[in-house]
């Protein structure tokens, strides 16, 4: 909350309006599926070994497995809130501020980030190269356990002996290597949060300073600066903010440029799908943003979120049909090393100022293309075919 209130104070110094809104969420729910999934996995193995013909044992284990798989899908895969009610409630704080145009509002651009610090991922503190294998492996073995548990219950109810039981038990035992360590996927502390994602909040403040100046204020584009809480808990803060500010978001055509994990200029990317690849972001806006950046000499790649990669606050807007993308500045390949993301090393000294400058320049140019700058519009039209006069 201290970070939110400080960001609010800094934005209020330079913008026309600045507000905070509170919401409730259940932070522990997002990763709450790990122990439940591990318990269901072990229970299935125990029943397969000790009581494969017991109807009561196999059916009870199947019920637990169904619950665990539902939690995995809801929380980890789709970032939904179906099981949040079973966890302790806390209060979060979102911040937003606006710079009004000199004339009538014809469009809106939302620049956003999040101010909550990331959880330490034990999987990234050690053996980073195995992160993708360990995550996907645990998920695959949970699915296998889910299916085998159902098969076990069907065999017990119908009186049929489970075929190749010894081989199945062996497979189940191998999966323990992936599933049990996942119980400690996160540590009981957070990161400093410099790159993920306070640097984006700093960028928001600098953008607010820039566009609040009379000479830089757009003619017809309202600019909204939003900093969200509880992003690391499954995008709960941005989801709450979007729901609470529907009237503002529908006043004029709105585009969202979210920013997350800005570290290195060579890793700058525009993300056009989100939440483990299950939510489509705006490919059109992504193409426009890359074209704008190219026109001022800044290269970006286009990135589609991979399964297991997580999600960003852009998804909260995309889910209500508001065009949104996320700017990233970190490696996104499945096998990576030397990451500071979600580790104790996420400190200010790991952030390359050139990446920050590049993102600032890109955001400024994007607003100019969509509201003020004829020269930039022509450049983008020539390079990427996406200019439009404001």
Q: What are phi and psi of 24, to 5 degrees?
A: -110, 145
Is the pTM higher than 0.75? yes
The hierarchical CATH code for the domain 2-26+89-118+191-383 is 3.40.630.10
Query: Residue ranges per domain, the chain?
Result: 2-26+89-118+191-383, 33-80+124-186
pLDDT score, position 122: 92
CA of residue 119 relative to chain centroid, distance: 13
pLDDT score, position 335: 64
The CB-side HSE value for 124 (13 A sphere, CA atoms) comes to 20
Angle between helical axes of 199-212 and 353-367 (0-180°, round to 10): 40
pLDDT score, position 377: 43
Residue 186 in tokens: 């996160």
Residue 306 in tokens: 């991979």
State how far the alpha carbon of 41 is from the alpha carbons of 30, 79, 311, 354, in Å.
19, 22, 26, 47
Closest by alpha carbon to 185, among 131, 234, 229?
Answer: 131
**Residue 177 neighbours by CB under 8 Å, 6+ apart:** none
pLDDT tens digit at each of 390 positions of the chain:
799 999 999 999 999 999 999 999 999 999 999 999 999 999 999 999 999 999 999 999 999 999 999 999 999 999 999 999 999 999 999 999 999 999 999 999 999 999 999 999 998 888 888 888 898 899 999 999 999 999 999 999 999 998 999 999 999 999 999 999 999 999 988 999 999 999 999 999 999 999 999 999 999 999 999 999 999 999 999 999 999 999 999 999 999 999 999 999 999 999 999 999 999 999 999 999 999 999 999 999 999 999 888 999 999 999 999 999 999 999 987 667 788 999 999 999 999 999 999 999 999 999 998 764 444 444 554 555 544 434
Coil, helix or strand at residue 176: helix
Measure the CA–CA gap between 154 and 162, rounded to whole angstroms: 9
CA of residue 65 relative to chain centroid, distance: 27
The CB-side HSE value for 29 (13 A sphere, CA atoms) comes to 25
Measure the CA–CA gap between 220 and 70, rounded to whole angstroms: 46
pLDDT score, position 126: 80
Residue 197, preceding bond cis, omega within 30 degrees? yes
**Residue 104 neighbours by CB under 8 Å, 6+ apart:** 220
Widest CA span of the chain, in angstroms?
Answer: 80
State how far the alpha carbon of 259 is from the alpha carbons of 113, 118, 198, 214, in Å.
5, 15, 10, 25
């Amino acid at each position: 909350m201290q970070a939110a209130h400080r960001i609010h104070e800094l934005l209020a110094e330079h913008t026309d309006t600045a507000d905070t809104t509170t919401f409730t969420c259940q932070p522990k729910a997002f990763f709450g599926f790990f122990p439940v999934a591990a318990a269901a996995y072990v229970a299935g193995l125990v029943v397969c070994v000790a009581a494969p013909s017991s109807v009561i044992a196999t059916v009870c284990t199947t019920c637990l497995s169904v619950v665990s798989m539902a939690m995995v899908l809801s929380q980890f895969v789709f970032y939904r809130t179906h099981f949040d009610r079973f966890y302790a409630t806390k209060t979060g704080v979102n911040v937003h501020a606006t710079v009004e145009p000199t004339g009538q509002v014809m469009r809106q651009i939302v620049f956003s980030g999040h101010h909550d610090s990331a959880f330490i991922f034990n999987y990234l503190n050690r053996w980073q190269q195995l992160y993708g294998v360990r995550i996907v492996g645990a998920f695959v073995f949970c699915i296998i356990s889910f299916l085998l548990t159902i098969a076990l219950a069907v065999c017990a109810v119908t009186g049929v002996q489970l075929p190749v039981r010894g081989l199945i038990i062996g497979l189940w035992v191998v999966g323990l290597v992936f599933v049990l360590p996942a119980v400690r996927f996160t540590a009981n502390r957070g990161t400093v949060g410099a790159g993920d994602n306070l640097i984006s909040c700093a960028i928001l403040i600098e953008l607010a300073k820039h566009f609040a100046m009379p000479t830089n204020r757009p003619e017809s584009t309202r600019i909204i600066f939003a900093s969200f809480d509880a992003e690391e808990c499954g995008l709960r803060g941005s989801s709450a903010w979007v729901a609470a500010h529907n009237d503002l978001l529908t006043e004029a055509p709105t585009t969202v440029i979210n920013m997350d994990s800005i570290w290195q200029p060579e890793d700058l990317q525009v993300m056009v799908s989100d939440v483990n690849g299950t939510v489509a972001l705006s490919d059109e806006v992504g193409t426009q943003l890359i074209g704008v950046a190219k026109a001022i000499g800044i290269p970006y790649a286009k990135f589609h979120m991979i399964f297991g990669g997580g999600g960003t606050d852009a998804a909260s807007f995309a889910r209500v049909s508001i065009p949104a993308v996320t700017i990233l500045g970190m490696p996104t390949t499945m096998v990576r090393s030397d990451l500071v993301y979600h580790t104790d090393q996420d400190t200010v000294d790991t952030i390359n100022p050139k990446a920050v400058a590049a993102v600032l320049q890109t955001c400024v140019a994007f607003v100019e293309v969509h509201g003020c700058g004829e020269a930039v519009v022509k450049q983008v039209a020539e390079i990427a075919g996406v200019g439009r006069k404001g």
